[in-house]
Amino acid sequence: MKKSVLFLSIFLWLPLASMAQESNLNSNMGFGIHLSQYQRDFGLGVQYTTPYFLYESLAFRAKANLMWHEHIENLEYTWSQYSNYTLGLVGTAGKINDFMRLYGEGGVIFILPNSSFSTADYDLGGYGLFGFEFYFFPNGNYFIELGAVGTGAQADEIPGNPIYSNGFMTNVGFRYQF
């Protein structure tokens, strides 16, 4: 039994190891798509990353998200869409072979709320995250980002004035570099 588990583990690991050796950590300009969760709000987004500079350790990243805020309207749950935009500085923290890069990102967030749940014209705040890029392809990577966002945004058209787009955030997606 132990030999079959060992054989299966090696069999599954070898293709990933060979792909990792063929790929490289690309530091060029990149475009990506992602799924997001900001507190309880779900979103879809696109992003642009500048080429890395300063010894290929820093880059700027801009993201645009279409988000949905779940709330009660007319005694029923509904999702109202809104958008947010981020501009941040990315700093690489290290890499594991030519397979994975670790990074941190922080910056500002600009929210355009929906009038169905907020009277604010816009909200500003900040965010910070750490991320992992997995290079299975020479010019592309899958990524996972975990962090926090703070805006002070409140849904003041909803009873209790709940906050939204505050707290824990996650992004997962694919980024292609040229």
Task: Quickly tell me which residue has 């990792």 as its tokens.
Answer: 20
3-state secondary structure at position 141: strand
CATH number at residue 62: 2.40.160.20
- The domain in which residue 172 lies consists of 2-177
Report DSSP letters for 137-167, one per residue. ETTEEEEEEEEEEE---B-TTSTT--B-S-E
pLDDT of residue 65: 97
Burial (0-12, 13-18, 19+ Cβ within 10 Å), 12: exposed
Q: Residue 84's beta-bridge partner residues? A: 65, 111
Report yes or no: 142 and 35 within 8 Å, Cβ to Cβ: no
CA distance 167 to 66: 18
Report yes or no: 122 and 108 within 8 Å, Cβ to Cβ: no
- Up-side HSE of residue 101: CA atoms within 13 Å toward CB? 24
CA distance 122 to 112: 5
Number of domains in the chain: 1
pTM of the model: 0.82
- Taking 50 as the pLDDT cut, the residues of the chain under it are 5-23
Question: Which tokens hold the place of 70?
Answer: 């779940």
CA distance 46 to 36: 10
